């Protein structure tokens, strides 16, 4: 039995395909969608928990990769270095889920990891290199 939290990144030409339907019907997986950011003709992201038999999960990952979907295994995470952070706020403007936000009344930046969908936008926005990606592609295990 496999149970994994992953993020799927959809390129624009795949966004409108019934990926969830195939995961359930063709690979017998249970799909629990935790967060979705899907827009027609733009890159989309889905955070989900998948569970099912090991072999089915491995076959599903192979199929997802063939569809040109990027799979990020959430056993790895985005990390925030409090020591490096200068609380400039640049990341709070671009973070789509407000995982990086200002804590009032001190107005210091905090990182709420459970809201993070590993979009990696903050990596490019942070001038202090306080954000790091520890995520790796899922390998189907
Ligand atoms: S990767 Fe960065 S910008 Fe993206 S959701 Fe997580 S904290 Fe926010
Ligand atoms: S952009 Fe970097 S330095 Fe600025 S508040 Fe965000 S994490 Fe801190």
Asked whether residue 138 is domain-assigned, the answer is no
How far apart CA 73 and CA 131 sit, in angstroms, is: 18
Do you find a cis peptide bond into 123, omega within 30 degrees of 0?
A: no
How remote is the CA of residue 112 from the centroid of ligand 1, in Å? 9
pLDDT band of residue 63 (cuts 50, 70, 90) is: very high
Ligand 2: residues whose CB is within 6 Å?
A: 85-91, 100, 109, 125-126, 128, 130-131
Asked whether residue 103 is domain-assigned, the answer is yes
Asked whether residue 141 is domain-assigned, the answer is no
Full domain range(s) for residue 22: 2-73
117 C-beta closer than 6 A to ligand 1: yes
pLDDT in tens, 1-56: 988 888 888 887 776 788 999 999 999 999 999 888 877 777 788 888 899 999 99
121 C-beta closer than 6 A to ligand 1: yes
116 C-beta closer than 6 A to ligand 1: yes
* Contact call for residues 108 and 102 (beta carbons, < 8 A): yes
Count how many domains the chain has.
Answer: 2
How far apart CA 96 and CA 37 sit, in angstroms, is: 9
How far apart CA 117 and CA 97 sit, in angstroms, is: 8
Neighbouring C-alpha atoms within 13 Å toward the C-beta of 59:
13
Asked whether residue 140 is domain-assigned, the answer is no
Are residues 7 and 69 both part of a single domain? yes
- List the CATH number of the domain containing 10: 3.30.70.260
């Amino acid at each position: 039995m496999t149970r994994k939290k992953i993020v799927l990144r959809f390129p624009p030409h795949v966004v409108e395909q019934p990926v969830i339907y195939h995961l359930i019907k063709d690979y017998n997986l249970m799909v629990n969608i935790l967060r979705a950011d899907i827009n027609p003709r733009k890159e989309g992201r889905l955070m989900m928990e998948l569970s099912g038999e090991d072999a089915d999960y491995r076959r599903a990952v192979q199929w997802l990769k063939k569809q040109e979907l990027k799979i990020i295994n959430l056993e790895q995470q985005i990390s925030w270095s409090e020591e490096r952070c200068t609380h400039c706020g640049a990341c709070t403007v671009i973070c789509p889920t407000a995982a990086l936000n200002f804590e009032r009344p001190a107005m210091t930046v905090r990182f709420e990891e459970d809201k993070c969908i590993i979009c990696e936008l903050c990596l490019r926005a942070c001038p202090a290199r306080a954000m790091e990606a520890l995520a790796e592609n899922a390998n189907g295990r």
